[in-house]
Amino acid sequence: MGNLGLKSELHDGTTIRAYLDELVLRKIPVQLWAPQADGLPFETTISRVGRDDFVTAKTPPLPVGQQLNVAFMLETRRFTAPTRVVATGVFRIPTSVAQGERRRQFRAPFARSEGVEVFACERFAPPFAGGRNLWGRLVDLSVQGLRMTLEEVASLDGAPATLQRGDRFDVVCIRGLPFTPVIQCAGVVAHVQTGPEGPMAGFLLTFMGGTDQKNIERILTPRYPATFGQAFPRMHRKTDLADQPGPPQPTLEPVKAPEVVVRPAAPAPPPPERPPRPEVTPVLRLRKAMRRILVISAGGEGGKSLADCLRDEEFKQVSEGRSYLEAQRLAQSAHHDLVLLDVRVGGHYGQMILEALRRRDLLQEAPVILVADRRDASVEAVAHAIGAVHIHEKRAPIEALLPVLYRLI
């Protein structure tokens, strides 16, 4: 949970018991985790305080005698204390409590609407990835670890796609945190479970840089609401200048603002002319109906996808795969004469998806057209690596792509 900045430690048993009684009365949540960091913190509440122990409402089974840390918050002050497992859901009353940072409340789990994504890669040797790739939504986060949904689990080299506790991943990326760059580190699978939203996995974060750790701590720290200060009275002078003591002050004429001459706006340039459509011969029309085209893309943002545009141009055999698994299924079901590959497909690079398919002897001889947002040196390097015959920019009209398609089919 970050650097707590512990200041003082309390050893008074009466005060510690009063704290626990307050947690029971107000049903304040507490967090428990192993100090060896072999598991993620879990949250529960205290239902009863006994003479030497306290009982929690909901706790997973733990070995008797295991040392744990317990954390709770009272009056915006965070407290941590060591405790020990007596039985399932029963813990020894702490003998000391440390006071930590002031925080309004624990950061609530991330909602689906926040759109924070997690991408994990098992083996990564730039620019190539191997092993298993995971993609999902961030549910909970701390400096020690995170919890994510498993929206997509893919294996690029034929390894089993199942996860087990202790599996290590070279790269764990967290994207979409508010006002924060991408956080990247390594990770170890802490647990795999099935929740109300489907399969989920917990990761212990390792090899994290100091800047990334501070960014996570900043996100977990509560902020003032956006309306803070709007109800404050505005500052005004209590008296008029004429009511102030002293000699009268001369009244100055207000300076007139210079006259501004507004020039008429320049006429907007005419829209660029769309390139002419090439002539479609009967033989070409027959080839458009017979040739199979595979589009590997994540789809358009609100508009038509590239596959829909091709169907509007009377290409009859157009298939669209929006992930590695869909592209693999389509490539295995039929032979394709042409591939249109997007640079980014969901949480993966299109280059990695194509190379994984070719390792499975799929799409070996089909020419490839690379589709990118813009054309720069990095895109041209990817096109050269995969042997693409053409680069098509998404902002270009479909008429610019038709001559290339007609030549290839």
pLDDT at position 3: 36
Q: What is the pLDDT of residue 156?
A: 73
Of 254 and 398, which is predicted with more confidence? 398
* pLDDT at 190 exceeding the cut of 50: yes
Contact (CB, 8 A) for 157 and 143 = no
Placement of tokens 């580190």 in the chain? 185
Give yes or no for residue 53 having a pLDDT over 60.
yes
Residue 75: predicted pLDDT: 66
Q: Give residue 187's pLDDT band: very low, low, confident or very high (50, 70, 90).
A: very high
Phi-psi region of 350 (alpha: psi -120 to 50; beta: other; left: phi over 0): alpha
Local confidence band at 174 (pLDDT 50, 70, 90 cut-offs): very high
Q: Does domain 112-220 have CATH number 2.40.10.220?
A: yes
Max Cα separation, the chain?
99
Q: Which of 88, 107, 91 is nearest to 20 (CA)?
A: 91
Residue 130, pLDDT score? 81
Q: For the residues of 47-65, what is the DSSP string, one character each?
A: EEE-SSEEEESS-----TT
What is the pLDDT at residue 2?
35
168, 183, 361, 385 from 213: Cα distances, Å: 20, 9, 43, 36
Mean pLDDT throughout 130-146?
Answer: 88
pLDDT at 208 over 70: yes
Contacts of 222 (CB under 8 A, 6+ apart): 103, 104, 105, 107
Residue 118 has pLDDT above 90, yes or no: yes
pLDDT at 151 over 70: yes
- Name the CATH superfamily, with its identifier, for domain 282-408: Response regulator (3.40.50.2300)
Identical topology for domains 112-220 and 282-408? no
| Residue 159 pLDDT | 66
- Taking the C-alpha atoms of residue 44 and residue 42, their distance in angstroms, rounded to an integer, is 7
Helix, coil or strand: residue 148: strand
In the prediction, which pLDDT does 300 show? 62
Comparing 77 with 106, the larger pLDDT belongs to 77
Which residues in 243-402 belong to E strands, given as ranges? Answer: 292-296, 317-321, 338-342, 344-345, 348-349, 368-372, 390-393
Query: Which percentage of the chain shows pLDDT scores above 70?
Result: 82
Q: What is the pLDDT of residue 227?
A: 44
Q: What is the pLDDT of residue 107?
A: 62
Integer CA distances (angstroms), 357 to 297, 329, 391, in order: 15, 10, 20
Highest mean pLDDT out of 269-273, 300-304, 403-407: 403-407
- Rounded Cα distance between 368 and 342, Å, is 10
pLDDT-wise least confident of 38-42, 144-148, 244-248: 244-248
- How much is the average pLDDT of 395-404? 86
| Residue 87 clears pLDDT 50, i.e. is over it | yes
Between 6 and 31, the higher pLDDT residue: 31
More confident residue, 42 or 375: 375
Tokens of 406: 């007609």
CA–CA gap between residue 41 and residue 30 (Å, rounded) = 10
Strands across the sheet with 368-372, in order?
A: 317-321, 292-296, 338-342, 368-372, 390-393
How much is the pLDDT for 241? 42
Q: Which of 97-111, 138-152, 363-377 has the lowest mean pLDDT?
A: 97-111
In this prediction, residue 240 has a pLDDT band, given cuts at 50, 70 and 90, of very low
What letter would DSSP give residue 389? S
Averaged pLDDT for residues 16-34 = 87
DSSP string, 115-137: --EEEEEEEEETTEEEEEEEEEE
Quick check: pTM over 0.75?
no
Is the pLDDT at 6 greater than 50? The verdict is: no
- pLDDT category at 39 given cuts 50, 70, 90 is low
The answer as to CATH 2.30.110.10 being correct for domain 9-102 is yes
Mean pLDDT, range 21-28, rounded to an integer: 88
163 contact partners, CB below 8 Å, separation of at least 6: 132, 134, 150, 153, 189, 192, 201
- Would you say residue 286 has pLDDT above 50? yes
In terms of average pLDDT, the best of 35-49, 187-201, 206-220 is: 187-201
Mean residue pLDDT of the chain comes to: 80
Return the domain boundaries, the chain: 9-102, 112-220, 282-408
- 97-102 vs 67-74, strand pairing mode: unpaired
Phi, psi angle pair for 95, to nearest 5°: -95, -10
Of the pLDDT bands very low, low, confident and very high (cuts 50, 70, 90), residue 95 is very high
Per the CB < 8 A criterion, the answer to whether 171 and 126 are in contact is: no
Backbone Cα Rg of the chain: 31
Residue 277: name the closest of 394, 402, 369 by CA. Answer: 402
